């Protein structure tokens, strides 16, 4: 039997979460050490004997046994988690107490508890993401840095600080208090949304790890849907949005590993299973009174995915949805998307006028697709020199090789000299 | 055919769970390959890093061996091969070689 893809990475989060509950949040580093020990044992034993019938249970049992050793050894020199502390007085009560702490029903919600703990509102969003990836998704510091396109030193600092906050928080987030849960859920959804977008917009053949972020965000969202209080309409809407976008990932990157515009995407490469699942989730999100940002974004994605071609897209509905989105979550990026949709109905010149009228458009200055959008519209107006200038600016702002190659290729459509920024 | 013991030296560490998993998969693939070709006589055992060492006529017991990580025997298997050169050739697929470890090949004495 083979090891399931990413099994170690996924089980890492469960192990650390369960061990942290046992040891207490203040002992997070110890929990990580013991989780590492459990994986080491798996590495050695499985190499020789193959994968056990239930690898997840094997790992949890091994972690429990390692934890028991630690607790026996250190019971007089450390304090542990609240649930455990009162059993620590006697050698005889530790065993059964630990057994109960790691029982199936006890560890069931640990990952969720840890997810909510990582989304501590006092932490900046980028720290929440780094923490989720490191603790829940088992990414090393280097992997987090690669996935978030950040420097190793900056990521290290971010994770160390965030873990200190977590250790000093007094305990893991409690899922039992419904009011606290409802207040924290938006923070968690936002973090998963950002995590997914990081992967989606950075996807390329050369950085597989960026695409894996999408899978991780979807996995964690599915975990939320599995829990009675996590399965809110917004959670369904966010899951729908992620499915509908993930379905189009294979089309965003062509056979040569290059980004493709929606116009040139091979729509037959979109994943029909994910599309169907996304639409079903969107249907299930339609209850309650609040149409969230995720509802509207998912509805926009649904418009794109159910259209058979660019021309056959319901652009009027898309513009209406962007209007609704801008009312509840105004952002220059959303306004730019709206302007592009308007141009599909009323022509490129109108699109340029809409772009010029975007409130706060100076915040788009570093965004390559802002320049690229103006370039495309200028090109459609027949103004090649202006298009070339905007593409040149876009290339200079490209954030990764895939974007650069894509923008350079589009720039060549204007004719004339290539606006290579680095020459 | 003769029998050989492979001693794997070097303790495997990993930077991330993903890396650990890749390593396990490499080992499993190598064992499978040896087994399929009929070379794996005994799949042996992995060994714990910690232990005791007993020395001399005093029977002095110490914790140990506390060798350098790269020298610690982490496990062993028994392989069937035509001769020592063939056994050495078979060892070249061992994943421990990729992480700074080594394989020691010792012919088992035949009576």
Number of domains in chain B: 1
Reported as a single tens digit per residue, the pLDDT across A241-259 is 999 999 988 777 766 666 7
Q: Is residue A377 part of a domain?
A: yes
Instruction: For chain A, positions 251-290, list CB contacts with chain B under 8 A.
Output: none
Question: Do the Cβ atoms of B25 and A42 come within 8 Å?
Answer: no
- What are residue B105's DSSP bridge partners? B6
Tell me what pLDDT residue A361 has. 87
* DSSP codes joined into one string, A374-402: HHHHHHHTT-HHHHHHHHHHHHHH--SHH
Q: Is residue A329 part of a domain?
A: yes
What does the pLDDT average to over A293-311?
A: 92
Q: Is the pLDDT of residue A402 over 80?
A: no
Q: Which of A79, A108, A137 is the last residue of a domain?
A: A108
Tell me what pLDDT residue A204 has. 57
- Which three-class secondary structure state does DSSP give residue A118? helix
Number of domains in chain A: 5
Q: Would you place residue B68 in the very low, low, confident or very high pLDDT band (cuts 50, 70, 90)? A: confident
Structure token pair of residue A392: 């040149």
Phi/psi class of residue A103: alpha, beta or left (left: φ > 0; alpha: ψ in -120 to 50)? beta
CB distance A103 to A9 below 8 Å: no
Is B102 an interface residue toward A (CB < 8 Å)?
Answer: no
Closest CA to A294 of A245, A229, A361: A245
Mean confidence (pLDDT) of chain A: 88
Reported as a single tens digit per residue, the pLDDT across B44-62 is 999 988 899 999 999 999 9
Residues of B in contact with A55 (CB under 8 A): none
Question: Do the Cβ atoms of B46 and A11 come within 8 Å?
Answer: no
Residues of B in contact with A50 (CB under 8 A): 28
List the alpha helices (DSSP H) in A132-207: 141-148, 152-167, 178-201
Mean confidence (pLDDT) of chain B: 91
Lowest mean pLDDT, pick from A257-261, A340-344, B22-26:
A257-261
Residue range of the domain that includes B65: 2-107
Same domain (yes/no): A173, A191: yes
Tell me what pLDDT residue A288 has. 79
Same domain (yes/no): A224, A115: yes
Same domain (yes/no): A347, A373: no
Q: Is residue A236 part of a domain?
A: no
Residues of B in contact with A139 (CB under 8 A): 16, 18
- Number of separate helices (H) and strands (E) present in chain A: 22, 0
Question: Do the Cβ atoms of A48 and B74 come within 8 Å?
Answer: no
Is B75 an interface residue toward A (CB < 8 Å)?
Answer: yes
> Phi and psi (nearest 5°) for A178?
-60, -35
Same domain (yes/no): A339, A409: no
Q: Would you place residue A148 in the very low, low, confident or very high pLDDT band (cuts 50, 70, 90)? A: confident
Same domain (yes/no): A104, A26: yes
What does pTM read for this prediction?
0.85
Residue range of the domain that includes A324: 314-356
**What b-and-e string marks burial along A307-336, b requiring 16 or more CB atoms within 10 Å of the CB?**
beeeeebebeebbbbbebbbeeeebbebbb
Residues of B in contact with A44 (CB under 8 A): 12, 46, 74-75
Q: Would you place residue A421 in the very low, low, confident or very high pLDDT band (cuts 50, 70, 90)? A: very low
Q: Which of A324, A356, A388 is the last residue of a domain?
A: A356
Residue A285: partners with Cβ closer than 8 Å, 6 or more residues away:
A233, A234, A236, A237, A239, A240, A294, A295, A298
Is A65 an interface residue toward B (CB < 8 Å)?
Answer: no
Compare CB distances from B75 to A11, A39, A48 and report the shortest one's residue: A48
Cβ-based burial of A234 (10 A; exposed 0-12, middle 13-18, buried ≥19): buried
Reported as a single tens digit per residue, the pLDDT across A150-206 is 889 999 999 999 999 999 988 888 888 777 888 899 999 999 999 998 888 765 555
What does the pLDDT average to over B67-83?
A: 90
The conformation of residue B106, written as its DSSP 8-state character, comes to E
CB distance A337 to A313 below 8 Å: no
Structure token pair of residue A288: 């309650």
Q: Which of A81, A108, A135 is the last residue of a domain?
A: A108
Residue B26: partners with Cβ closer than 8 Å, 6 or more residues away:
B95, B98
Tell me what pLDDT residue A355 has. 95
Question: Do the Cβ atoms of A43 and B17 come within 8 Å?
Answer: no
- Complex ipTM: 0.88
Same domain (yes/no): A375, A403: yes
- Could you give the angle at which helices A233-247 and A272-284 cross, rounded to 10 degrees? 160
Reported as a single tens digit per residue, the pLDDT across A31-86 is 999 999 999 999 989 988 889 999 999 999 999 999 999 998 888 788 888 777 77
Which residue in chain A is spatially nearest to B13 when comparing CA positions? A40
Tell me what pLDDT residue B18 has. 92
Same domain (yes/no): A202, A115: yes
Question: Do the Cβ atoms of B25 and A3 come within 8 Å?
Answer: yes
Same domain (yes/no): A321, A407: no
Measured over the CA atoms of residue A27, residue A29, residue A30 and residue A35, the dihedral's sign is positive
- Pairwise pLDDT comparison (A246 vs A418), residue with the higher score: A246
Q: Is residue A99 part of a domain?
A: yes
Tell me what pLDDT residue A222 has. 95
CATH number reported for the structural domain that contains residue B68 in this entry: 3.30.70.1060
Tell me what pLDDT residue A208 has. 67
Q: Would you place residue A372 in the very low, low, confident or very high pLDDT band (cuts 50, 70, 90)? A: very high
Residues of B in contact with A8 (CB under 8 A): 17-18, 20-21, 24
Compare CB distances from B28 to A11, A50, A140 and report the shortest one's residue: A50
Compare CB distances from B24 to A43, A138, A139 and report the shortest one's residue: A43
């Amino acid at each position: 039997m083979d090891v399931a893809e990413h099994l170690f990475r996924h089980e890492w989060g469960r192990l650390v979460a369960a061990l942290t509950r046992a040891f207490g949040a203040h002992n997070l580093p110890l929990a990580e050490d013991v989780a590492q020990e459990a994986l080491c044992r798996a590495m050695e034993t499985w190499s020789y004997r193959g994968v056990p019938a239930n690898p997840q249970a094997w790992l949890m049992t091994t972690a429990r046994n390692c934890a028991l050793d630690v607790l026996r050894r250190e019971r007089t020199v450390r304090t542990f988690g609240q649930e455990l502390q009162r059993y620590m007085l006697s050698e005889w009560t530790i065993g059964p107490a630990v057994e109960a702490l790691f029982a199936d029903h006890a560890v069931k919600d640990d990952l969720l508890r840890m997810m909510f703990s990582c989304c501590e509102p006092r932490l900046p969003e980028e720290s929440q993401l780094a923490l989720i990836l490191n603790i829940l998704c088992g990414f090393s510091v280097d992997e987090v840095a690669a996935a978030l396109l950040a420097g190793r030193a900056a990521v290290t600092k971010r994770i160390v600080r965030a873990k200190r906050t977590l250790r000093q928080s007094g305990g893991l987030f409690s899922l039992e208090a419904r009011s606290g849960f409802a207040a924290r859920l938006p923070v968690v959804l936002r973090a998963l949304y950002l995590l997914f977008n990081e992967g989606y917009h950075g996807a390329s053949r050369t950085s597989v790890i960026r695409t894996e972020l999408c899978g991780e965000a979807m996995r964690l969202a599915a975990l939320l849907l599995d829990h009675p209080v996590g399965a809110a309409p917004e959670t369904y809407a966010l899951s729908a949005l992620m499915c509908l976008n993930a379905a189009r990932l294979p089309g965003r990157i062509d056979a040569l590993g290059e980004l493709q515009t929606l116009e040139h995407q091979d729509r037959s490469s979109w994943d029909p299973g994910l599309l169907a699942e996304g639409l079903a989730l969107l249907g299930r999100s339609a209850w309650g009174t609040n149409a969230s940002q995720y509802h509207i974004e998912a509805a926009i994605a649904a418009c794109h995915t159910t259209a058979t071609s660019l021309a056959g897209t319901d652009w009027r509905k898309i513009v209406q949805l962007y209007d609704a989105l801008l009312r509840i979550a105004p952002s220059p990026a959303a306004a730019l998307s709206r302007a592009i949709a308007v141009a599909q109905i009323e022509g490129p010149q109108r699109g340029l006028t809409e772009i010029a009228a975007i409130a706060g458009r100076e915040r788009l200055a570093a965004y390559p697709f802002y320049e690229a959008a103006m370039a495309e519209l200028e090109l459609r107006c027949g103004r090649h020199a202006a298009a070339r200038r905007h593409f040149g600016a876009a290339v200079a702002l490209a954030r990764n090789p895939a974007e650069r190659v894509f923008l350079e290729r589009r720039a060549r459509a204007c004719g004339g000299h290539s606006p290579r920024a680095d020459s | 055919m003769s029998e050989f013991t492979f001693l794997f030296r070097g303790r495997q560490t990993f930077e991330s769970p993903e890396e650990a998993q890749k390593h396990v998969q490499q080992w499993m693939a190598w064992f499978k390959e040896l087994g399929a070709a009929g070379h794996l006589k005994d799949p042996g055992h992995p060994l714990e890093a910690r232990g005791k060492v007993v020395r001399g006529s005093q029977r002095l017991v110490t914790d140990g061996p506390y060798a350098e990580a790269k020298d610690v025997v982490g496990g062993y298997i028994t392989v069937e091969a035509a001769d020592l050169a063939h056994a050495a050739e078979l060892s070249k697929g061992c994943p421990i070689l990729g992480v700074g470890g080594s394989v020691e090949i010792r012919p088992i004495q035949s009576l």
